[in-house]
Amino acid sequence: MGALAIMVLAFAGYILMYRFYGKFIGSKIFQLSGACKTPACEYEDGIDYVPTKKEVIFGHHFTSIAGTGPIVGPAIAIIWGWVPALLWVFIGSVVMGAVHDFGALIISMRNQGKSISEYTAKYINDRTKFFFFLIVFLELLIVIAIFGLVIAVIFAMYPQSVLPVWFEVLIALYLGHLIYKKGANAMTWSIIAVIVMYITVVIGAFVPIKMPAIAGIPPTGVWTIILLTYAFIASVLPVTTLLQPRDFINSHQLVVAMSLLVLGVFFAAFGGNLEIVAPAIQSSPAKAPPMWPFLFITIACGAISGFHSLVASGTSAKQIRDETDSLFVGYGSMLMEGTLATLVIIAVAAGIGMGYTPKGGETLTGVAAWTTHYSSWAAAAGLGSKIAAFVDGSANLIGAIGIPKKFALVIMGVFVASFAGTTLDTATRVQRYVVAELFGDLKVTFLTNRYTATVIAVGTALILAFVTGAGGKGALKLWPLFGAVNQTLAALALIIITLYLKARGGLKWLVAGLPAIFMSIMTIWAVVMNQVKFGAGGPALLQVINFIILIIALWIAVEGLIKFFSTGETPEEAEPQTT
């Protein structure tokens, strides 16, 4: 099957699943009602709780859950073949990931906008809530520290992207001022903002900015400090000042980037210059872990990701102005991410074959290009390698339209860096919520202030980033755990959603219960295999933390089963409150 046919069939599938399955879940399972008073309206404070148009919050939610996740996961998992990667992305996103994201969003909205960690106590018990807090804090700690490094690596690989990415922040600040202070039309001015941003992209192509070492700190370390400082500022500002306008710009940027990729596939396919060069199935690539269960751990964003439940029950639940908007935001965003992941698979399965130049080598095409980049698990697993596979493959596709590769590389570099920045912003803000909720429960009120809670969120990430030296790469020590942590969180979130739906009666729980069983098996299986691997000579830190993750996953799974089969009272959640 050709790349063009794959793209068309996948896109049609996403549209049909949203039209039928998504709307069925919204109306029949969660029984959305426009009469329900959302937390954004009930607790409006102009900082975190802000009623927002669904188009704007869609932009925020999508760009926050996406980041580089739907890029790096498929770009490495394709080493097992494009067929299993594509099947998992499609099936995972429509029946697991979208249900997971949508369910977490709805439950949070019906629980005062609280995080999934906080409302775990209501649906299971207080013990489980504490363990949930631990795994959520660990996940966000790694995300904040690693995404500062991710953007630093992108800046080093594509220095032409530095100027446009930082100019986007300034443009977003002014856009927020125009919309919320001057009453300007959001759509009109956001489109103008995107045009201005792409002007900076052209300028950036001619003005690359390379960070020098400062005071003995390597460029990656300097960028990490700058980016985490930025994340602190972005987290404490009202969402209308920077978060929403920047994400609105990024949502338009997504449309532009995806449109260019789609057109590139059409032009390249009709030009006879596009063929899939990746193997359909490669069950035992060199030095790679087994496809089962690690395919389902490696591809998270794009199929199902526990981080999404933190965004849904963190920032997004506090901005939905009408409960009926949540289907578009929660379910729709996940399908859009699946669409992006599908394009990533096409870019690295076919686009890279249009031309790939390894360091110091001649330009390769066809199967030779793919096999050189994906010669082994170790060759393809590096952070820079995953990003380069997508950016280079995408630039080749865009080049088929007639855009010079020099500019195409900048466009895609800015796209990846911008989305990574949005994830960094949102993860920091969500970690602030988590810290504030935890210390609020412990009655340590002075640590619930948004400034002190953000200091803890950013400070712990800064410590992790620099624990191994001035390069800011400390989070890489825990990165081997991230996939398992993230997917364990997804399985645990599905358990909570299952219990919520069971309390509402009937067989509604099946839409989340079956995915919960599948993800619990896959993640616990992977964590056990990691424990065996780490125990055979791996670092002691990984052994200890991985063991803790395994205990937490088993504990919450058992507590969830006990609660599920309990004949006692269930939470009063049959119907949401209406205005």
Top-confidence residue, 117 or 568: 117
Provide the 10 A C-beta neighbour count for residue 175.
25
Distance CA 110, CA 32 (A): 11
Coil, strand, or helix at residue 52? strand
What is the dihedral angle through the alpha carbons of 3, 7, 10, 16, rounded to the nearest 10 degrees?
-150
pLDDT, tens only, 84-128 = 999 999 999 999 999 999 999 999 999 999 988 888 888 998 888
Distance CA 257, CA 242 (A): 22
Handedness of CA 105, 421, 93, 461 (dihedral sign): negative
53-56 long-range contacts, CB within 8 A, separation 24+ = 53/186, 53/321, 54/320, 54/321, 54/322, 54/325, 54/328, 54/329, 55/186, 55/187, 56/186, 56/244, 56/247, 56/248
Distance CA 76, CA 120 (A): 33
Distance CA 419, CA 165 (A): 10
Amino acid letter at 164?
Answer: P
| 320 DSSP assignment | B
Residue with tokens 């997508």: 390
Q: Which pLDDT belongs to residue 297?
A: 93
% the chain with pLDDT above 70: 96
Q: Is 507 exposed, middle or buried (0-12, 13-18, 19+ CB in 10 A)?
A: exposed
pTM over 0.85: yes
Q: How many residues does the chain have?
A: 579
Question: How open is the CA angle 275-280-282, to the nearest 5 degrees?
Answer: 135
Q: Is the pLDDT of residue 367 over 50?
A: yes
% the chain with pLDDT above 90: 64
pLDDT, tens only, 197-245 = 999 999 999 999 999 999 999 999 999 999 999 999 999 999 999 988 9
Distance CA 148, CA 167 (A): 18
Backbone phi, psi, residue 62, to 5° = -65, -50
Inter-residue contact 160 to 181 (CB < 8 Å): no
- The residue ranges of DSSP E strands in 352-496, in sequence order, are none
Distance CA 247, CA 257 (A): 15
Inter-residue contact 572 to 550 (CB < 8 Å): no
- My answer on whether omega of the bond before 293 falls inside 30° of 0, hence cis, is yes
Q: Is the pLDDT of residue 537 over 90?
A: no
pLDDT, tens only, 254-294 = 889 999 999 999 999 988 778 999 999 998 888 888 999 99
Sequence-distant (≥ 6) Cβ neighbours of residue 99 within 8 angstroms: 25, 331, 494, 497, 511, 512, 515
What is the domain partition of the chain in residue ranges? 3-94+151-477, 483-579
Q: How confident is the model at residue 574 (pLDDT cuts 50, 70, 90)?
A: very low
